[in-house]
Amino acid sequence: MTALPKQMKLGLYATATGGHVAGWRHPDAYADMGANLRRCIEMAQLAEDACFDFLFLADSQAMRGSDWDVLSRGSTRYVGQFEPLTLLASLAAVTEHIGLVATANTTYEEPYSLARRFASVDLLSSGRAGWNLVTSSNEEEAHNFSAQSHMQHADRYRRAREFAEVVLGLWQSWDADAFPRDKARGRFFEPSRMHLLNHQGEFFRVRGPLNVPPSPQSHPVVAQAGASEPGKALAAATADIIFSLLGEFDAARAYYADVKARLPRHGRTPDDLLILPGINIFVAATEAEAQAKQAAVQGLVDPVVGRSFLEMMLGASLGSHPDDGPLPELPPTNANTSMRQKVVDVAREQNLTIRDLYMRMTDKDTFTVVGTPAQVVDQMELRFHGGAADGFVIMPSFFPNSLRDVVEQILPELRRRGLFRTSYEGRTLRENLGLRSIARPALLA
């Protein structure tokens, strides 16, 4: 018997009003997605009916930026939205299959609390939770957590590495058979099946055990996005999923090969880590209609918002450089360095003006595909079969239309080609992603 052909994994970027800075202004958009549970439930159930592997909630523990006028013109900079872990738990109660992944940051959290909250959502959802590990990437967060300044990149990653070690360790506090709950003898758990962590490190001292036992998928799936060198190293050691923002085929393929080649040294196989680039899709029956859809959203971009969004991605001010001029040389940054490099490379290669660039960036993503279902799926398949992606995170411009378009036009085409499931294979997120249920995660060397 031959094995079934491999299929794509699909996640849904489900944060606030959508991925596009002007999406909320579209006449059909739910502009209150960040504060309306009913709409979030509608979205989650739509994605679940479509058999998405998971939905993903990005996060920031501060609004991104200090220019209140700019911030007041949009929602994508974490202005007003549900706190992701609480929203995830609410969605766990009204869904049955879809994975529930949220960002939580290692710079301003305590590992015990974070390990516990994700373990709790994992149990509430019967094994469908995932943690997207990020380090804080902005100064604004520091100001909300009694920190004088933003932690340096290298320090953040050292802390993140130790943080991951503690969380993964706490998730091993109890064996699956640790709780006999023997009423007759009065013995609730079996002491030899409990494991105290007793971690002593540079940043943390944590005894354990966690007061939440393992879920049906043993522990939550771990996602990461870091594209920098320390980010890749950490992901190769600890992550189950990488959210990359590389859409350009050659760059995506090189990245894919680089990361997968790092796995064997951690005792892992290439299948143990899935690489899922973000993709923003404008689809319609004809190419012209698809382009019109994109133009409708792009036409809603407020120049003030577009320019400042670009500044945020660059981690630098553009000062008085005009929108119609080229991108100037930039001073060094302590922000997300891989993000900046990508933007700068695109600008230089294609000789773009500041305006060109921010219009290009407004969907948060350089991988935007516009066209008919067949054209879009061709691009997805090229990457999937070409060693550049194990699947994708769909980033709708706004809700609900951009998601509906994908469900109604892209998924049937993917299924026609045998590239996506028609029903969930397993009960847990780990099972649906085809990830081994590992008793002990790859250890940090």
Partner 1 sequence: MSRAQQMKLGISLVSNGTHPAGWRLPQARADAALDFSLWKSMALAAERARIHFLFLADGVAVRTAAKDDDALSYSGRIDQFEPLTLIAALSAITERLGFVATASTTYNEPYHIARKFASLDHLSGGRVGWNVVTSWSEAEALNFSREKHLEHGVRYGRAEEFVDVVTGLWDSWEDDAFLRDAASGRYFDPAKMHVLRHVGEEFSVRGPLNIARSPQGYPVIAQAGSSEPGQELAARTADLIYTAARSKEAAIAFYSSVKGRLPKYGRMRQSAVVMPGILPVIGRTEAEAQEKYDALQQLIHPKVGLAMLARAFGDLSGYPLDGPLPEGLADSNGVKSGREALEALARRDRLSIRQLYLLVTGAAGHLQLFGTAESIADQMADWFRNEACDGFNIMAPYHPGGLTEVLNTVIPELQSRGLFRTEYEGRTLRENLGLAHVPNRHALREQTAAE
Restricting to residues 33-62, name those near partner 1 by CB under 8 A: 34-35, 37, 41, 60-62
Q: Give the C-alpha separation, 227 to 415, whole Å.
A: 31
Interface with partner 1 (CB under 8 A), residue from 91, 236, 245, 310: 91
Q: Which residue has the tokens 């990361």?
A: 259
Contact 47, 39 (CB under 8 A): no
Q: Which residue has the tokens 């006028």?
A: 69
Interface with partner 1 (CB under 8 A), residue from 14, 57, 58, 121: 121
> Which lies closer to partner 1 via its Cβ, residue 181 or residue 351?
181
Contact 209, 174 (CB under 8 A): yes
Interface with partner 1 (CB under 8 A), residue from 14, 57, 87, 357: 87
Smallest distance, Å, CB 156 to partner 1?
17
Q: Give the C-alpha separation, 386 to 410, whole Å.
A: 19
The two structure tokens encoding residue 316? 């630098």
Interface with partner 1 (CB under 8 A), residue from 39, 124, 251, 321: 124
Q: State yes or no: residue 85 binds partner 1 (CB under 8 A).
A: yes
Stretch that binds partner 1, among 28-36, 248-256, 334-342, 428-436 (CB under 8 A): 28-36
Q: Give the C-alpha separation, 348 to 1, whole Å.
A: 51
> Which lies closer to partner 1 via its Cβ, residue 57 or residue 414?
57
Q: Is 333 left (phi over 0), alpha (psi -120 to 50) or beta?
A: beta
* Cα dihedral 226, 231, 234, 236 in deg (nearest 10): 70
Stretch that binds partner 1, among 73-81, 260-268, 337-345, 369-377 (CB under 8 A): 73-81
The two structure tokens encoding residue 368? 């935007």
Q: State yes or no: residue 117 binds partner 1 (CB under 8 A).
A: yes
Smallest distance, Å, CB 165 to partner 1?
14
Q: Where are the beta strands (DSSP E) in 75-185?
A: 99-105, 129-134
Restricting to residues 267-306, name those near partner 1 by CB under 8 A: 300, 302, 305
Binding mask 206-245 for partner 1 (x = CB under 8 A): xxxx-xxx--------------------------------
DSSP-assigned states of every residue in 32-83: TGGG-HHHHHHHHHHHHHTT-SEEEE---SS-S-S-HHHHTT-STTTSS---
Q: How many chain residues touch partner 1 (CB under 8 A)?
A: 79
Smallest distance, Å, CB 260 to partner 1?
34
Stretch that binds partner 1, among 118-126, 237-245, 281-289, 414-422 (CB under 8 A): 118-126
Smallest distance, Å, CB 75 to partner 1?
5
> String of b and e for 318-352 (b: at least 16 CB within 10 Å)?
beeeebeeebeeeeeeebbbbbbebbbebbeeeeb
Write 315-319 long-range contacts (CB < 8 A, 24+).
315/339, 315/340, 316/340, 318/354
Angle at 87 between CA 85 and CA 88, to 5 degrees: 60
Interface with partner 1 (CB under 8 A), residue from 106, 107, 120, 401: 120
Q: State yes or no: residue 31 binds partner 1 (CB under 8 A).
A: yes
Interface with partner 1 (CB under 8 A), residue from 45, 63, 175, 353: 63
Smallest distance, Å, CB 193 to partner 1?
9
Restricting to residues 97-116, name those near partner 1 by CB under 8 A: 108-110, 112-113, 116
The count of C-alpha atoms lying within 13 angstroms of the C-alpha of 82, restricted to the half-sphere facing its C-beta, is 24
How far out from the chain centre does Cα 226 lie?
10
Smallest distance, Å, CB 401 to partner 1?
14
Stretch that binds partner 1, among 80-88, 224-232, 270-278, 331-339 (CB under 8 A): 80-88
> Which lies closer to partner 1 via its Cβ, residue 109 or residue 287?
109
Interface with partner 1 (CB under 8 A), residue from 79, 316, 359, 382: 79
Binding mask 149-188 for partner 1 (x = CB under 8 A): ------------------------------x-x-x--xxx
Restricting to residues 383-412, name those near partner 1 by CB under 8 A: none
In one-letter notation, the amino acid at residue 182 is D
Q: Is 277 helix (H, G, I), strand (E, B) or coil?
A: strand
Q: State yes or no: residue 136 binds partner 1 (CB under 8 A).
A: no
Q: Is 174 helix (H, G, I), strand (E, B) or coil?
A: strand
Restricting to residues 189-208, name those near partner 1 by CB under 8 A: 189-191, 194, 203-208
Q: State yes or no: residue 312 binds partner 1 (CB under 8 A).
A: no
